[in-house]
Amino acid sequence: AQTVTQSQPEMSVQEAETVTLSCTYDTSENNYYLFWYKQPPSRQMILVIRQEAYKQQNATENRFSVNFQKAAKSFSLKISDSQLGDTAMYFCAFMRERANSKLTFGKGITLSVRP
C-alpha cells in the first residue's frame, strides 16, 4: 500500500517570501504521479502542480515548483513570492500509473501568509 506523509501540520510565511512544504511517500511502484493540491478556506480544491515519476526534471508552475527526489521518496513544494491568496491547506497526493489507481492524500498542511 502507498502512504503519503506530511509531517508539518502548520506553517506561516511572510508575504513575498519563500516557503517550502515537505512531503514524503512510500511505494514499491516505479511509475507513478505526485500532486500538490490547494484547498483555500471554504473554496474548491484545485491542482497546484503535478510530477510524473519518470521525469527527472522538477515541475514548475509560475511561483510554484517542486523538489522531486525519487530515491529519497521526497516531494516538496516551494512557493516563491508568497501572496495572501496562497493561504490555504495544501495536500500532497500520490497515484500509481494504472487505470484503476486511486489518489492517496497526505494529512495536509495549513499555510498562512502574513501581510
Partner 1 sequence: EADIYQTPRYLVIGTGKKITLECSQTMGHDKMYWYQQDPGMELHLIHYSYGVNSTEKGDLSSESTVSRIRTEHFPLTLESARPSHTSQYLCASSELGAGAGNTIYFGEGSWLTVV
By CB under 8 A, the residues from 21 to 80 that bind partner 1 are: 33, 35, 37, 43-47, 50
Minimum CB separation of residue 60 from partner 1 in Å reads 17
Minimum CB separation of residue 81 from partner 1 in Å reads 23
- Hey, which bits of the chain come out as E strands? 3-5, 10-14, 19-21, 24-26, 32-39, 46-52, 60-61, 64-69, 74-79, 88-96, 104-105, 109-114
What is the binding site for partner 1 (CB under 8 A)? Answer: 33, 35, 37, 43-47, 50, 89, 91, 95, 97-103, 105-108, 110
